[in-house]
Amino acid sequence: GAVVSQHPSRVICKSGTSVKIECRSLDFQATTMFWYRQFPKKSLMLMATSNEGSKATYEQGVEKDKFLINHASLTLSTLTVTSAHPEDSSFYICSATERAGGTQYFGPGTRLLVL
Amino acid sequence: KQEVTQIPAALSVPEGENLVLNCSFTDSAIYNLQWFRQDPGKGLTSLLLIQSSQREQTSGRLNASLDKSSGRSTLYIAASQPGDSATYLCAVRRWGTSYGKLTFGQGTILTVHP
């Protein structure tokens, strides 16, 4: 089956620093990747949708200058949390799909803790 | 705006019981509906995907049904096992949604005790 990986799986950083999270599709080409955020005991909240080679589409209320998304190739998308603050601490999950409307395959998630 | 609700929020059953998880959605114009499993601190594993034209899908001990007109789906788990303990999420993809955006429910936390 299709596999999506995320790196790192866990990161702790100081307030004010930037953190980059990678999402990779290992055995398929992902035309579209999605970034979600999940708070404890809550459901997934879509942050943005990215298509290879174009700018990401952000959901309402998500700061695009705060959460920088780059989808430079068909197998890699990155999410950079800039000037992280404790309220950015969360579980970030990416998903990838080969085609628009196709099955989304989810990564294992990255837990971010900002001190 | 699509809203997805899952009932119950939590469920605890003894091993061997058959159980049903419910999912309802407010906008019936969906492309498909997907059930996922999430273990604590982990990502999502897709269990079943039902296209809008389908009524049900089966995989092993799992059976998912879809009644699009009433905005409901159920996930039936037969002969539950402790290894089934996890959070179960349903998500719908709306027709016309750019690039297939999913709207998730809050999830049902299932505990199967020996």
pLDDT digits (tens, 9 = 90+) for B12-61: 999 999 999 999 999 988 888 999 999 988 889 999 999 999 999 999 99
Contact between chains at A103 and B49 (C-beta distance less than 8 A): yes
Residue B2 has pLDDT above 90, yes or no: no
- Give residue B80's pLDDT: 97
A62 touches chain B (CB under 8 A): no
Cβ of A91 and B41 within 8 Å?
yes
Side chain identity at residue A106, one-letter code? F
Taking the CA of residue A112 and the nearest CA in chain B, the distance in Å comes to: 12
Which of A42, A93, A101 lies nearest to residue B44, judging by beta carbons?
Answer: A93
Q: Which residues contact A49 (CB under 8 A, 6 or more apart)?
A: A32, A33, A34, A56, A57, B98, B99, B101
B100 and A57 in contact by Cβ < 8 A? no
User: What is the radius of gyration, based on Cα positions, of chain A?
Assistant: 13
Radius of gyration of chain B (CA): 14
A100 has a pLDDT exceeding 90: no
| Residue in chain B nearest A109 by alpha carbon | B43
Give the pLDDT score at B29. 87
Question: A100 Cβ partners below 8 Å, 6+ apart?
Answer: A31, A32, B98, B99, B100
Q: Which chain B positions have a beta carbon within 8 Å of A46's beta carbon?
A: 101-102
Poorest-pLDDT segment among A101-115, B51-65, B72-86, B87-101? B87-101
Q: Of A41, A43, A47, A90, which to mutate for an interface test with B (greatest number of B Cβ within 10 Å)?
A: A43
Among chain B, residues having any CB pair with chain A shorter than 8 Å are: 31, 34, 36, 41-46, 49, 89, 93, 97-102, 104-107
Going by the DSSP 8-state scheme, the letter that residue A56 receives in this structure is P
- Given a cut of 80, whether residue B99 has pLDDT beyond it is no
Residue in this structure with the two tokens 């998308």, named with its chain if needed: A77
Give residue A51's pLDDT.
85
Q: A13: buried, middle or exposed (CB in 10 Å: 19+, 13-18, 0-12)?
A: middle
Of residues B70 and B95, more confidence is placed in B70
Residue B31: list chain A partners with CB under 8 A. Answer: 101
For an interface test with A, which of B33, B35, B44 has the most A Cβ atoms less than 10 Å from its Cβ? B44
Strands A10-13 and A110-114: parallel
C-alpha–C-alpha distance, residues B49 and A40, integer Å: 25
pLDDT in tens, A75-89: 999 999 999 999 999
Question: Over the stretch A28-67, which tens digit does the pLDDT of each residue have?
Answer: 999 899 999 998 878 899 999 988 888 899 999 999 999 9
Q: Rounded to a whole number, what is the distance in Å from the CA of A67 to chain B's nearest CA?
A: 18
